[in-house]
Amino acid sequence: MKIKTFIFVILALALAVSAEAQKGNKKIVITGTVVDALKQPVVNAIVMIDGENTSSVTNSEGKFRIRVSPSATRIGIFTFTSGIVDQAIEGRTEINFQFSKSGTNKVEAEAASPGDESINTGYAHVKAKDVLTNISKTDGSGTKYYKYKDIYDMIQRTSAGVRVNGDNIVIQDAKDFFGSVAALIVVDGVPVTTIANIPPSMVESIEILKGTAAAIYGSRGFGGAVVIKTKKTLD
């Protein structure tokens, strides 16, 4: 009798622990509304979680509803015209967004002052301190970069979270159902399929766009983007 009671207690405790674990892993539903500077609904804005694209977009009223993991920390909203805004989740289940008149990724018309290094997001230059997404930059100036055997070697050895396999560049191990997803490569504003003909000595800068930063390229930027600016030569 004592053995049966002991087994019953053990099973009860195991079930309680299992139920608590399932409760802890239960996804959280977050809802909200996205409006522009005039407080008008923003339609078809992409919802981002921790810098990653999701399949959720805002409806005709600017509203969204998304299920997220309890471990998620940030939620963002992206549009091609206004850029990106994001907020910390901090346990909230209703989070609303409003874009400013200039958008999050404000284009800087004036020259950047010291300490306000400009970063090329692929369609505009913004101040580094204003970028809310994942962009890392390698400055190609100086003879120290001449030591690399080719530009792929340069990218592999100077860019964190980047894996190079032949002509394929994979950022943060991006994958879909079919395997690894190669990054989009943009040279001087033009998407290209290869950069093998660019020597390291001709590189002015390399910018690695991860997560939401590459969303400006739409589905082409699913695996991130490598934005290369070459040095200008005199005729």
Most confident of 56-60, 91-95, 113-117: 91-95
Strands 97-98, 28-35: pairing kind: parallel
pLDDT for residue 169 is more than 80: yes
Cross-strand bridge partners of residue 169: 164
Output the pLDDT for position 180. 79
Output the pLDDT for position 70. 92
Numbers of helices and strands, H then E, in the chain = 2, 18
* Domains by residue range for the chain, with CATH: 25-98 (2.60.40.10), 118-230 (2.170.130.10)
pLDDT for residue 156 is more than 90: no
> Which residues are CB-contacts of 194 (< 8 A; sequence separation ≥ 6)?
167, 185
* pLDDT higher at 40 or 126: 40
Both tokens assigned to 217: 């390229």
Least confident of 36-50, 84-98, 102-116, 213-227: 102-116
pLDDT for residue 193 is more than 50: yes
List for the chain the helix, strand, coil content (%; round to 5).
Answer: 25, 35, 40
199-230 tens-digit pLDDT = 888 888 888 888 767 767 776 777 888 999 88
pLDDT for residue 87 is more than 80: yes
pLDDT for residue 104 is more than 50: no
Both tokens assigned to 162: 């980047």
**Percent of the chain clearing pLDDT 90 (strictly above):** 17
CA distance 126 to 177: 34
Strands 52-57, 203-210: pairing kind: unpaired
114-140 tens-digit pLDDT = 444 554 544 444 444 444 456 677 776
pTM of this structure: 0.46
176-191 tens-digit pLDDT = 667 778 888 999 888 8
User: Using CB atoms within 10 A of its CB, is residue 226 exposed (0-12), middle (13-18) or buried (19+)?
Assistant: buried
